[in-house]
Amino acid sequence: MDRPAFGTTLQNLRKEKKITQEQLATHLGVSPQAVSKWENGSYPESDLLPAIADYFDVSIDYLYGRGGGNDPIEVQVFKALQEAVEKEPQLVNNVHSHAETAKLMRKILWAFQISPWATNKDYFNAPQNSIENPKTTSLILDNEFFSYMGLRVDNPFFFFMSRPENYDYIEELFKDTDGIVKLFETLSDKDNMRILIYLYTFSRESFVTAATISKALSIKREKVDKLLGAIVDYSIFCKSGNLPFYKIAVVGESGEETAYSTDPNFGGLFIALLLMAKEYINPPAGFQMQVNNRKDSWADREKVFGKKK
């Protein structure tokens, strides 16, 4: 008969800690024979379980083979999410829906948000306010990282950034804004914005021609052609990476025509850009779980603009 999970786990933990049954017995105030019996099939008194778990820095569930134990927290999170994905219903081509996994991810992110609050000792579920409620968010800000989590249905995003070692990422961002300005200039034209949004209403397998866009949005064909040309020839985007948009040649009765589509990998960035822009111009009415310990400025002025002459 296989040894019960408790006995196996206890023995493994003891050997990992490089202690004898006698040493464990002394710590717990029991006899070495009691420890030997536990490792071979019996169980300790229930009031000893917290002491055993604390000694090995694991949960009581782990002692019985039901928990993540002394795995690093990131490994425990990974395993929990992997298990959630495996339980999701399958759609087509062995692809899971991820609906419940997304809910679990949001709970994990919320745990991250509320953990730095010194007086908060217990986890509680994040509020999900309806559009009728005042907009609220959760914010953590110090010299090392910044995180921001929307808590209303119209701002369901989480943003996190941390300071890398030996690289002034904010100063470098502020120093090189030419490409960002060009993108904002493009988006500042309402017709251009409508064209880009229209492109994102198509799935990854779908393509649309300039003529179709022009007719659907009542925008002059010349303007549509100008923007579509710019987004696929690196006039806006850097040449060092993939393009968020691409084109193909379509041959029909009237000859060859160009059709356009989006790379879905970048669609989330476009939506995130709009969400954050909307959040910036329409700030929240208040904060739930706000921690602001930042003492430094966001950037070093001399590193951005140089030393004053």
Give the amino acid at 84. Answer: A
Give the amino acid at 206. Answer: S
Report pLDDT for 237: 83
Q: Is residue 3 pLDDT above 50, yes or no?
A: no
As a whole number, mean pLDDT of residues 126-132 equals: 89
Report pLDDT for 131: 93
By the 8 A CB rule, do 148 and 289 touch? no
Q: Is residue 90 pLDDT above 80, yes or no?
A: no
Q: Is residue 6 pLDDT above 90, yes or no?
A: no
**Domains located in the chain, CATH noted:** 5-70 (1.10.260.40), 75-167 (no CATH), 189-267 (1.10.10)
Report pLDDT for 41: 86
Q: Is residue 240 pLDDT above 70, yes or no?
A: yes
Q: Is residue 22 pLDDT above 90, yes or no?
A: yes
Q: Is residue 2 pLDDT above 50, yes or no?
A: no
End-to-end CA distance of the chain: 83
Is the pTM higher than 0.85? The answer reads no
Report pLDDT for 201: 96
Residue partners of 150: CB distance under 8 A and separation at least 6: 135, 137, 156, 157, 158, 275, 279
By the 8 A CB rule, do 59 and 69 touch? yes
SS3 51: helix
pLDDT tens for 38-69 read 999 889 998 999 999 989 888 888 888 776 55
Q: Is residue 88 pLDDT above 90, yes or no?
A: no
> Order of strands, edge to edge, in the sheet holding 136-141?
158-162, 145-150, 136-141, 286-292
Quote the radius of gyration of the chain (alpha carbons, Å). 28
- Separation CA 109–CA 126 (nearest Å): 10
For residues 121 and 167, the model is more confident at 167
For residue 109, the tally of other CB atoms under 10 A from its CB is: 15
Q: Is residue 1 pLDDT above 60, yes or no?
A: no
